[in-house]
Structure 1
Amino acid sequence: MNGFFLLVAKLQLCYQLLLLLPNFVRRNLLAIREVFVITSNVVLSELATNEQHGENSLYFEGWKAYNKDPFDLKDNPNGIIQLGLAENQLSVNMIEDWNKRNLQAFIFSITNQDHGLFECLINGIAKLMEKTRGGNVKFDAERIVLTAGATAANETLISCLADPGDAFLIPAPYYTGFDRDLCWRTGVQLVPISCNCSNNFKITIEAVKEAYEKAQKANIKLKGLILTNPSNPLGTVLDRDTLKKILIFTNEHSIHLVCDEIYAGTVFDAPRFVSIAEIIEDEGIYVNKNLVHIVSSLSKDMGLPGFRAGILYSFNDDVVNFARKRSNIGDLNETQHFLASMLSDDEFVQEFLTESGKRLRKRNEKFTSGLEKIGIKCLKSNAGVYCWVDLRSLLKEPTLDAEVSLWKLIINDAKLNISPGSSFHCPEAGWFRICFANIDDQTVEIALERIRVFVDTNVMSSSPNSLIAHSILL
């Protein structure tokens, strides 16, 4: 008890001393105390404190390294070259030229907004979707919902189809950003369907069934299957027969089929791209269209990532209605007037898509042939703005740790930001995605030369600490 009374006496003394301080000092001390008490008791949400964003992926670590030391031919020629950015910049001059001829398209109001429902734009997007699919299928403009980028479209759709804890099957390797876009705020899980190099990473219906059965045995509640077609990071397209089998499978099990077709307009060689919208119209096949949904964007097809124009297309009325209600969280801004004007120019859009395909094919051939001369092979691709590169021969051993070590050497020594396969959940170590459409011709030559020097140095070095043995590529 004596200790208690002594403590009370000390507190009273402190209080009396506080009263003797000048008012402004006393107020500041009390304010500091209040701030301390408030901040020390703050409890943030599970969303704010969870680790599901995926920002610690090597994919994003490479971006951080590039941002600290970006290559510039004039100002920083020894900086890191960005080969991790999947953007289609090869035909941006065509957009610039069109804009110069149509300056009125960029004059729009800043005092109101059309909330993603600008009729002319939606009609233009419907026509664009038809063009990028070879005119083989029609799209209903009333089923299009516009969002601020494909990220918002993906999250909106998943939020509509699943609850926290539910899961979606997805072929691996798959786009790194899906861990963030589809899972972080929704609480949804992604269950990989393993695809490996033995058949060029092609998805098979057998692999789909195996992944489904494993999930069922693990009591995972599956709500759907997600396809990226054309594939990111592979740069390949799914054939009609495989698409049909997967569609039938998802319908038989009453799960959703989500098709991310964001790279539809980047197909530059045979075989042609087949949309899931085309498959469901096939004669002799009956499916529940309410289970089929498409995500797209203007970012890759038209090379306009900065306009943040995402597209959600669903055959399900309830999904469309939900997405429209939710779209006010991430509407397009008034630049949609510019997009509407440009997309209504049918002649220009067709010219752009044709020329863009030619330039992508030429760049792909230039980059992959350059790698082949160095002794590096790529998965044969016909779409996308990247190539899937086989660097297994540069690994000390076929492990994830060895892949990470190689990636660190490439970014620190060769000064190239390329994305390791592990960041795409690739089941085999040693594969990397390299983007080739976001840099100019001169930078391509510099990047290829850096790769050549890196390979020669590490292959031919006689040092016991060299990355790989002499004979691997000889």
Structure 2
Amino acid sequence: MLGSQEHILSKIASNDGHGENSAFFDGWKAYDADPYHPTQNPNGVIQMGLAENQLSFDLVEEWVRNNPKASICTAEGASQFKDIAIFQDYHGLPEFRNAVARFMEKVRGDRVRFDPDRIVMSGGATGAQETLAFCLADPGEALLVPTPYYPANDRDLTWRTGVELVPVISDSSNGFKMTRDALETAYKAALESNTTVKGLLLNNPSNPLGTVLDREALSMALSFTNDKNIHLICDEIYSATVFYEPGFVSIAEILAESPDANPDLVHIVYSLSKDLGFPGFRVGILYSYNDAVVSCARKMSSFGLVSTQTQRMLASMLADEEFVGKFLVESAARLGARRAALCEGLAQMGVGSLKGSAGLYCWMDLRRLLKAANFEAEMQLWRVIVNDVRINVSPGASFHCAEPGWFRVCFANMDEETMRVALSRISKLVVQSKSGEARKQCRRRSKLEISLSFRRLEEIMMSPHSPMTSPLVRTMT
């Protein structure tokens, strides 16, 4: 039956370009099939594979209760129902675009300004990424993407557009930092394979690393793309999740400081899914300095608009500067405290993690738990973690990491007690691994001691001073 269905469907509908056949999504399926609950299902799978910000919902709920007029679904806001329910231009409500532009400025410390007329709405960052891919590249053309990178980029940017992604390799030797040499190497390899490179995609702050790109790295990237006359796309959806120094620097700041750079080549992807914790609202933003891209993207946005009801409520919320200021400070503090608790708990059991200052996750180092230094061993360990330890974490291979043994662990989508349970489970894994290694070492020592014993016996027997070589022994034998 499946074969006949595939025959009547389009190639896009029937191929596996969505990327669901990967460990990244398989872990989610394991959680969905048997989710952890502290009382109803204490042996279920704990979800640490979802980068969701739930630590400051109380602040949002308080604002919603105190501002009932913001919603058309309340008695206080119902009088606006008709105006919001009827057709709206796909440019978006002016008050919404103004509020989003101001919020983006606030998140960036008011160091840059954003033009509301350059803001294009989209159904989440997923839609914004795909829209940009459609605008900037034709099927078969490519974007450079530093590794490790978010697994769904393979879906968002390539599945329906036909655009290709070319990895820019980085590793732990320099903390997975992007270098000019790595960019040049990837660019050259693409050209040698007759692939046209149309742009460079950066995720800042990084998912999965939890690191930020400093001014030097961003300036280097801008210089590289200008030299090659290709686009620079900066995915900044985690910009308000920075909780330690170094702080966040937007490509908008670097562009403003670079008079020789071509602004037509610079584009920003943003959303409210991570910074505010509203992934269900599907609010994505494409901000481009290129007039043609803004015009085209706005036409394409009709395929994934944000509902006017959502726009209206968020416009009211984001225009409340007192609330926004309080939220940004408190959210960052809570994220920093939660990450510190996770990393400290891992460190106490001897598990390292990459130093980071942002995001809803940490990049956990389990290389020493691998049975071998390859990705097959990484998948074996991941299966143990999901099936036996009962935690969904995401293996580095799904992020195109060049080194086996790294895992992304999310910490902001659960309460403190659930995280304590998760740390306890990870600790048991480490202890069992150490015990197993200790047993192996003991067996190796035993074999070595036996081998040495035989060797010493042989040396003694062959020595001229050995009693086995004496005339008495020979005559006795």
Partner of 1:326: 300
- Partner SS, residue 311 of structure 1: strand
Instruction: Give a deviation string over 1:206-264, Cα, whole Å, max 9, x none.
Output: 11111111111111111101000000000000110111111011111110000000000
C-alpha distance 335-276 of structure 1, shift in aligned 2 (>3 A): same
Partner of 1:88: 53
Q: Please, which of 262, 275, 286 is the counterpart of residue 312 of structure 1?
A: 286
Partner of 2:276: 302
- Partner SS, residue 434 of structure 1: strand
Contact 1:116/1:147 (<8 A) preserved = no
Q: Distance in 2 between matches of 1:41 and 1:195?
A: 38
Superposed CA RMSD in Å reads 1.9
Partner of 1:55: 20
- Ranges in structure 1 where 5+ consecutive residues have no aligned partner: 1-35
C-alpha distance 72-465 of structure 1, shift in aligned 2 (>3 A): farther
Partner of 1:383: 358
Q: Distance in 1 between matches of 2:52 and 2:156?
A: 18
Q: Please, which of 69, 85, 106 is the counterpart of residue 104 of structure 1?
A: 69
TM-score (norm 2): 0.88
Amino acid at match of 2:68: L
1:184-195 alignment runs, 5 A limit: 184-195=159-170
Partner of 1:418: 393
Amino acid at match of 1:437: A
Q: Distance in 2 between matches of 1:289 and 1:458?
A: 52
Stretches of 4+ moved more than 4 A in 1?
A: 39-42, 462-466
1:424-439 alignment runs, 5 A limit: 424-439=399-414
Partner of 1:176: 151
Amino acid at match of 2:180: I
C-alpha distance 75-213 of structure 1, shift in aligned 2 (>3 A): same
Q: Please, which of 422, 438, 441 is the counterpart of residue 447 of structure 1?
A: 422
Amino acid at match of 1:103: P
Structure 2 residue 51 is matched with structure 1 residue 77: no
Q: Structure 1 vs Structure 2: percent identity of aligned residues? A: 52
Partner of 1:3: none
C-alpha distance 270-41 of structure 1, shift in aligned 2 (>3 A): closer
Instruction: Give a deviation string over 1:329-350, Cα, whole Å, max 9, x none.
Output: 1111122111111011011011
Partner of 1:44: 9
Q: Please, which of 46, 58, 65 is the counterpart of residue 30 of structure 2?
A: 65
Structure 2 residue 219 is matched with structure 1 residue 244: yes
C-alpha distance 278-41 of structure 1, shift in aligned 2 (>3 A): closer
Q: Distance in 2 between matches of 1:292 and 1:69?
A: 44
- Post-superposition shift, 1:53? 1.5
Partner of 2:201: 226
Q: Please, which of 332, 347, 357 is the counterpart of residue 372 of structure 1?
A: 347
C-alpha distance 363-323 of structure 1, shift in aligned 2 (>3 A): same
Q: Distance in 1 between matches of 2:301 and 2:440?
A: 55
Amino acid at match of 1:58: A
C-alpha distance 469-432 of structure 1, shift in aligned 2 (>3 A): farther
1:195-210 alignment runs, 5 A limit: 195-210=170-185
Structure 2 residue 267 is matched with structure 1 residue 293: yes
Contact 2:97/2:116 (<8 A) preserved = yes
Identify the range of structure 1 (324-333 vs 429-438) with the bigger mean alpha-carbon deviation: 324-333
Instruction: Give a deviation string over 1:56-81, Cα, whole Å, max 9, x none.
Output: 11000000000000001121111000
Q: Distance in 1 between matches of 2:263 and 2:306?
A: 27
- Post-superposition shift, 1:44? 2.0
- Partner SS, residue 122 of structure 2: strand
Partner of 2:474: none
Amino acid at match of 1:291: L
- Ranges in structure 2 where 5+ consecutive residues have no aligned partner: 73-79, 446-477
Q: Distance in 2 between matches of 1:331 and 1:212?
A: 35
- Post-superposition shift, 1:469? 9.9
State how many pairs are aligned. 431
Q: Distance in 1 between matches of 2:91 and 2:278?
A: 17
